[in-house]
A and B are shown apart, each in its own frame.
Chain A
């Protein structure tokens, strides 16, 4: 049992603000993932929950009691580390039972607990081996065993799969989910891999520059990103962003115009700095989808093809008018790895008949367009209505 509550948690390193006033409530039994680029403060936040780093400000509560000033050992937490951090001078049994030893648990209980952990993690028969004799995956399992053996209130996992090879990572990902579900323990998981975050979590906390960007279930982050950062970070390959302006019920970019008269976004009024976001999977060759929600086609030239098996990534150049790029963008939105209309990314089925330097007509799925304020970066609107009159759109 254990919920974790962060209130205005801040960490300052001399002149660097690593974590800035974070408020977060992790519910009991929830699998919460902190995700963000490296150096965004997600690990620091986890270390503060663990008690390995002391927050400069704010309070941390675990299971209703304030643990801000308690050492790690008194917080009822267990942690799995990125570098696994098994004690190299102890065998598997001693590693798993370290926490029990420190607490002077009697031998019988200890054996029982270690055997249970070994069973869950399929480590039977390896208890006498030294960490150096184990494979990467086995080591990671021992690390997890050390964490679960004490029945902690909260699991903290700091990129536990980052050092494993791709195949093993997939395997351990499902293992971890199974273990977490079976034990039903509150888990805070840190990763920079948005795919890991999407697949494992009940909720995701997207962090950038020490600030929470969005806390929501994975699909909400995907479908309704709170701002341009979340939109760009969640989803792979990354979302296309194109600058534009809203005026007179129309959305104009350097490369194309959209009719927005049927959407509530119209009520937002004129805005001369808007970013529209389109995921590569919502861009398609015109006329191939049969969906009534597609926008009117625009012409583009295929630049580069990247076949990756289940799909082909197509880099497109569109004809565009640089004079329509809005000026006065803020740093917040400039910092996003924004694509422009001359490098639009589309993903298509692998059997698509398409070659480099070919001219194609493409269209966007209007339901999945995302509009952001280019100055603040915040989302303004998600999805356009199927446009009662797609014909009204101007090319």
Chain B
């Protein structure tokens, strides 16, 4: 028998919240400590920084063009987001609003592909993007070391989720609105972009933000599909690895750069969180 249930609930709430806060925030705290500690004193660190060197946050940009790596990451994520929204909307529209033969089979196919670990796609795609695959004598385009080599595979990997999600949203828009738009002079595609998408704004925004975050945070393709030069579309992960060489690893700089790299994501999530929450829940509570 619990004597005072209200107090117990409150205590449990604080325990649970505290647990999640520690899990979520400790890495950032630890990165801050690492960043503030001068490079030569990074040994036997406690919970407090071993010295105070905020200059690391500036040094990051002096040593390597870290801002360019960040810009590359943001551009790659933006590209992937645009591709996912465009293709995902068209596919979501077809799957959500049309009943055609083979619809279920194709949708299941999309779902099955999304269950594959993305690593399995790497080697074939690497071959493809380095011009080693030829069909009827025409060799594949040399996308390696270009924006497409990163943003295309990552778009493709996010698309199944986007298609499912957007199909659910687009299905809920009444037929009458689309009919009205078409009678008034829009094509089906026009109606999709002028009426259906704006009315599914929470869903579209959620997919946009999720795609952006996935692409921005991704390691595997981001690391292997480019050589690592800032002027050749290398994203943040390559920027971070520039802070180590054969003889030395500047942990403090890597930590400082990591924190700086997180800032765009923090801003994005803060701005979009209302939309994301309403998008996720309204998608779940389908009428």
Chain B residues whose C-beta falls within 8 Å of the C-beta of A1 in the assembled complex: none
**Is B187 a contact of A71 with CB atoms below 8 Å?**
yes
A81 touches which of B176, B194, B195 (Cβ 8 Å): B176
Please choose the segment from A83-91, A308-316, A346-354 that sits at the chain B interface, where 4 or more of its residues have CB less than 8 A away: A83-91
- Does B190 sit within 8 A of A, measured CB to CB? yes
**Is B198 a contact of A102 with CB atoms below 8 Å?**
no
Chain B residues whose C-beta falls within 8 Å of the C-beta of A234 in the assembled complex: none
What distance in Å separates the Cβ of B266 from its nearest Cβ neighbour in chain A?
29
* Chain A, 26-79, CB within 8 A of any chain B CB: 47, 50-52, 71-73, 77-79
- Does A222 sit within 8 A of B, measured CB to CB? no
- A95-115 to B contact mask, C-beta < 8 Å, 1/0: 000110011000000000000
What distance in Å separates the Cβ of A131 from its nearest Cβ neighbour in chain B?
11
- B180-195 to A contact mask, C-beta < 8 Å, 1/0: 1111111100100011
- Does B179 sit within 8 A of A, measured CB to CB? yes
- Does A11 sit within 8 A of B, measured CB to CB? no
- Supposing A87-B195, A102-B190 touch, asked if A52 and B179 sit within 8 A by C-beta, the answer is yes
- Does B174 sit within 8 A of A, measured CB to CB? yes
- Does A146 sit within 8 A of B, measured CB to CB? yes
- Supposing A83-B176, A98-B181 touch, asked if A73 and B186 sit within 8 A by C-beta, the answer is yes
Chain A residues whose C-beta falls within 8 Å of the C-beta of B186 in the assembled complex: 73, 102
- Supposing A71-B182, A72-B182, A98-B181 touch, asked if A85 and B187 sit within 8 A by C-beta, the answer is no
What distance in Å separates the Cβ of B132 from its nearest Cβ neighbour in chain A?
45
**Is A79 a contact of B185 with CB atoms below 8 Å?**
no
Size range of the chain A interface in the assembly: 20 to 34
**Is A99 a contact of B185 with CB atoms below 8 Å?**
yes
Chain A residues whose C-beta falls within 8 Å of the C-beta of B201 in the assembled complex: 89
- Does B107 sit within 8 A of A, measured CB to CB? no
- Supposing A81-B176, A81-B180 touch, asked if A88 and B185 sit within 8 A by C-beta, the answer is no
**Is A87 a contact of B185 with CB atoms below 8 Å?**
no
What distance in Å separates the Cβ of A81 from its nearest Cβ neighbour in chain B?
5
**Is A78 a contact of B176 with CB atoms below 8 Å?**
no
**Is A103 a contact of B180 with CB atoms below 8 Å?**
no
What distance in Å separates the Cβ of B82 from its nearest Cβ neighbour in chain A?
21
Nearest chain-A residue to B177 (Cβ)?
A85
- Does B224 sit within 8 A of A, measured CB to CB? no
**Is A52 a contact of B182 with CB atoms below 8 Å?**
yes
- Supposing A99-B185, A102-B186 touch, asked if A85 and B179 sit within 8 A by C-beta, the answer is yes
- Does B199 sit within 8 A of A, measured CB to CB? yes
Chain B residues whose C-beta falls within 8 Å of the C-beta of A88 in the assembled complex: 199
- Supposing A87-B195, A88-B199, A89-B199 touch, asked if A102 and B184 sit within 8 A by C-beta, the answer is yes
B180 touches which of A47, A51, A87, A150 (Cβ 8 Å): A87
**Is A79 a contact of B195 with CB atoms below 8 Å?**
no
Nearest chain-A residue to B182 (Cβ)?
A72
* Chain B, 174-222, CB within 8 A of any chain A CB: 174, 176-177, 179-187, 190, 194-195, 198-199, 201
Chain A residues whose C-beta falls within 8 Å of the C-beta of B179 in the assembled complex: 47, 50, 52, 72, 79, 81, 85
Chain B residues whose C-beta falls within 8 Å of the C-beta of A51 in the assembled complex: 182-183
- Supposing A71-B187, A73-B187, A102-B190 touch, asked if A85 and B180 sit within 8 A by C-beta, the answer is yes
What distance in Å separates the Cβ of A85 from its nearest Cβ neighbour in chain B?
4
Chain A residues whose C-beta falls within 8 Å of the C-beta of B184 in the assembled complex: 73, 78, 98-99, 102, 146, 150
**Is A79 a contact of B199 with CB atoms below 8 Å?**
no
Cα–Cα distance between A50 and B198 once the two chains are bound (Å)? 25
What distance in Å separates the Cβ of A47 from its nearest Cβ neighbour in chain B?
8
**Is A102 a contact of B199 with CB atoms below 8 Å?**
no
Cα–Cα distance between A71 and B184 once the two chains are bound (Å)? 11
Instruction: Tell which of B177, B180, B181 has the most Cβ of chain A within 10 Å.
Output: B180
**Is A87 a contact of B181 with CB atoms below 8 Å?**
yes
Chain A residues whose C-beta falls within 8 Å of the C-beta of B183 in the assembled complex: 50-52, 72-73, 77-79, 156
Chain B residues whose C-beta falls within 8 Å of the C-beta of A85 in the assembled complex: 174, 176-177, 179-180
- Supposing A87-B195, A88-B199 touch, asked if A79 and B180 sit within 8 A by C-beta, the answer is yes
Cα–Cα distance between A251 and B91 once the two chains are bound (Å)? 67
Chain A residues whose C-beta falls within 8 Å of the C-beta of B174 in the assembled complex: 83, 85
Cα–Cα distance between A52 and B175 once the two chains are bound (Å)? 10
Cα–Cα distance between A86 and B186 once the two chains are bound (Å)? 15
What distance in Å separates the Cβ of B195 from its nearest Cβ neighbour in chain A?
6
**Is B199 a contact of A73 with CB atoms below 8 Å?**
no
A73 touches which of B176, B182, B198 (Cβ 8 Å): B182
Cα–Cα distance between A146 and B182 once the two chains are bound (Å)? 13
**Is A89 a contact of B198 with CB atoms below 8 Å?**
yes
Chain A residues whose C-beta falls within 8 Å of the C-beta of B177 in the assembled complex: 85, 87
What distance in Å separates the Cβ of A65 from its nearest Cβ neighbour in chain B?
18
Nearest chain-A residue to B180 (Cβ)?
A85
What distance in Å separates the Cβ of A54 from its nearest Cβ neighbour in chain B?
13
Cα–Cα distance between A50 and B181 once the two chains are bound (Å)? 12
Chain A residues whose C-beta falls within 8 Å of the C-beta of B182 in the assembled complex: 51-52, 71-73
* Chain B, 234-259, CB within 8 A of any chain A CB: none
Cα–Cα distance between A77 and B174 once the two chains are bound (Å)? 21
Contacts A81-B180, A85-B179, A102-B185 known; list 19 others, CB within 8 Å: A51-B183, A52-B183, A72-B179, A72-B182, A73-B184, A73-B186, A81-B176, A83-B174, A83-B176, A84-B176, A85-B174, A85-B176, A85-B177, A85-B180, A87-B181, A89-B198, A98-B184, A102-B184, A150-B184
A interface residues, Cβ below 8 angstroms from B: 47, 50-52, 71-73, 77-79, 81-89, 98-99, 102-103, 146, 150, 156
B interface residues, Cβ below 8 angstroms from A: 174, 176-177, 179-187, 190, 194-195, 198-199, 201
9 A-B pairs closest in CB distance: A85-B176, A99-B184, A102-B185, A85-B180, A73-B185, A79-B183, A72-B182, A72-B183, A99-B185
